[in-house]
Amino acid sequence: MKKYLLILSLSAIGYMGYSQDKKLNIEALDASNPFATEFNTPKNTPPFDLIKEEHYMPAFISGMAQQATEINAIANSSQSPTFENTVVALDESGELLNRVSSVFYSMTGAMTNPNLQAIAADISPKMSEHSDNIYLNEQLFNRIKAVYDNMNGDNKLTVEDKRLIDKYYKAFVRSGIMLDETKKSRLREINKELGLLSLNFGKNLLAETNSFELVIENSKDLSGLPSDVIEVAAGAAKTKGYDGKWVFTLSKPSWVPFLQYADSRQLREVLYKAMYNRGNNGNEHDNNDIINKIVNLRLEKANMLGYKTHADFVLAETMAKTPENVSKLLNNLWEYALPQAKKEKEELQKMIDREGGHFKLESWDWWYYTEKLRKEKYNLDEEEIKPYFMIDNVRDGAFMVANKLYGLNFKELDNVPVYQKDVKAFEVTGGDGSYIGVLYLDYFPRAEKRNGAWMGSFRKQQVYKGKYINPIIYNVGNFALPTEDKPSLLTLEHVTTLFHEFGHALHGLLSDCKYNGLSGTSVSRDFVELPSQIYEHWALHPDVLKMYAKHYQTGEAIPDALIKKIQEASNFNKGFETTELVAAAILDMKWHTIQADQTLKASDFEDRSMNEIGLIPEIIVRYKSPYFAHIFDGGYSSGYYSYLWSEVLDADAFQAFEENGIFDPKTANLFREFVLSKGGSEDPMTLYKRFRGAEPNPIYMIKNRGFIK
């Protein structure tokens, strides 16, 4: 999921009370700036062929100033506050600011460079102040409060109207509107500093990721590696000027296959340690001090707003509600996962011993021996599978499922500018030919792109001043690069990742809400992963595999025997996978349930935290703190548990498809109506129960992970 979800922070920010020397230039943006008006392109997509770096800052400044005028008009209106003239007007304010923000922040994730990083550092405190100036504006809040206090007596308001009122009212309260002036001033300082700290965390992580290279000169050190992995490494070396050599990097498509297949234990250790020491090397890109400052500032802010911890503050507006409820879920899973992981460890150690190895299994050995054990137990080799998962075929598989479930069609557009040559854009239409939106796909790694995979929007669906706005959505990934001889071939993990992000895209594309602040993925963090995670269930379903998994050379459909192997091995290594995931969620909660300001070394804090829960040394937490971007450079602080919370929902939800047929029209229509189209327009559990008829049963999640039959 993309880290910049422009829900409230950019869709309803304003400006009040600047002193004269800080006043923004409110002159209209020069007409030559592409952001000055609605984009004049097919489907109103961003004109990437015209947008230059120098266009961003003037558009940001003008956007903030223009929205300030709109906000002033709302706050100082002589008319009595109503839903339309106050709450809807606030939700619709900032069109220019939203336009530039959505493009700029997508580029800082997918196509960054020192110039964009400098702009981000410059604009961050300005945007923070801009946001604070609306949420700490008492005149505006008093109008919001008047509408909020009277909403239950207004029978003209719909459920969605009331949800929007409630959301903005709580946004003001949670932003500190009730604080005295001294505390408000301190809160402004905290918000500015937190923005810059997160920005620097991500900048450091990208620098650390890009700075390491494992350069191999002797072909003997490539022993065990598949030919396509070697080809990609040779291509990377050539690009970097190392002709005749091979380069492996800290991009996941590079380091994961090396750990899976490289026979050299010494080099596996070097690469793995480089990966998990990112941001923790005591250099100019070290993130330890940043982590301490972020954690302490978040605690100070939470305390100031009346909460015991940052986790208490964050979770108050989620399905989980409290840290205790999160801990209950995580501890329950831990009791299943850790014993299974210990059994898996023993199996791997026995394999090492059988092969005459005189060493104890370490974390950099796990991937290598797991791959060997998978082949031994199930006669399943990822290299045998990958030829059936050419990236275009997998993408088309995701399209096919959406067509069978929701009648959607996808047509590649050749008249839409893109921001990088490998990016593709698709027009999305309904079964009746109606236009739904545009989807961009950006699938390959590059130095300018951060690691991981995410979804975002260049424009959210809404009804703006009476006009229906179609969404413009994007998916970004870091999948295997094609070589001169082979197209991009995906692992099973990457297949499910592609489907996962496509599920998020459907959430944005099929939104049918009135208001920007509630549309698409504007839902609680522990509900937003439901549409993405349920879509993973179709990725490797036997019936679906037959639709899209075709050999890239022969076009032959994947054989039944290979599908059977995939199914039989589906719960293999689940102890490891669940343990490292739950450990990361627990680590997130440990950082954010701290109750006193303190200075901690991340590695020491992690060691204590993981020792407390009994994590075995052969498995490391999925994200060590100095590169845990989800919680220190994203929106998942006190929220990494969300993937597991949502898994309870998605496992139960897919059970409905299993019971009725995986393409059952009635079930699909119910899911579209009550989950995909509703955004945050109603309480998430209410919506879920409308789809399923009851609250989710957690037993299906435990079964899916293979912990019980």
User: Residue 598, Cβ neighbours under 10 Å: how many?
Assistant: 11
How far apart, in whole angstroms, are the C-alpha atoms of residue 621 and residue 607?
10
How far apart, in whole angstroms, are the C-alpha atoms of residue 269 and residue 364?
5
129, 208, 501, 529: which one is catalytic? 501
SS (H, E, C) 418-482: CCCCCCEEEEEECCCCCEEEEEEEECCCCCCCCCCCEEEEEECCEEECCEEECCEEEEECCCCCC
213 is catalytic: no
Instruction: Judge whether 354 and 243 are in contact, CB under 8 Å.
Output: no
Helix (H) or strand (E) holding 247: strand 246-248
Bridge partner residues of 247 (DSSP)? 215
Report in angstroms the alpha-carbon separations of 532 from 42, 403, 543, 653.
Answer: 28, 16, 19, 12
Instruction: Judge whether 73 and 67 are in contact, CB under 8 Å.
Output: no
DSSP letters spanning 588-637: HHHHHT--S-----HHHHHHHHHHHHT--TTS--SS-GGG-HHHHSSS-T
Bridge partner residues of 441 (DSSP)? 424, 475
Which residue in this structure is represented by tokens 């100082």?
76
The residue type of 154 is D
Q: Could you give phi then psi for residue 533, rounded to 5 degrees?
A: -75, -30
How far apart, in whole angstroms, are the C-alpha atoms of residue 589 and residue 306?
19
How far apart, in whole angstroms, are the C-alpha atoms of residue 222 and residue 242?
16
How far apart, in whole angstroms, are the C-alpha atoms of residue 571 and residue 706?
6
Pairing type for strands 472-476 and 435-442 reads parallel
Report in angstroms the alpha-carbon separations of 318 from 230, 260, 321, 322.
Answer: 45, 38, 5, 8
Catalytic residues, by residue number, are 501
